[in-house]
Amino acid sequence: MNTLHCYNSTANLAIFGLDSSQMTSYFSTLTTCLVNRGFFVSITFIAIIEKNLYFWRLWQGTLIRYYLETTQKITINYQLGVSL
Query: Which pLDDT value is given to residue 9?
Result: 54
- pLDDT band of residue 72 (cuts 50, 70, 90) is confident
72 vs 14, residue with greater confidence = 72
Reported as a single tens digit per residue, the pLDDT across 20-57 is: 566 667 777 777 777 778 788 888 888 888 887 777 77
The larger pLDDT score, comparing residue 28 to residue 4, is at: 28
SS3 annotation, 12-25: HHHHCCCCHHHHHH
Number of domains in the chain: 1
- Give the span between the Cα atoms of 22 and 14, in whole angstroms: 10
Structural domain for 18, as ranges: 3-80
Residue 7 has pLDDT above 70, yes or no: no
CA triplet 65, 66, 69: central angle to 5 degrees?
Answer: 85
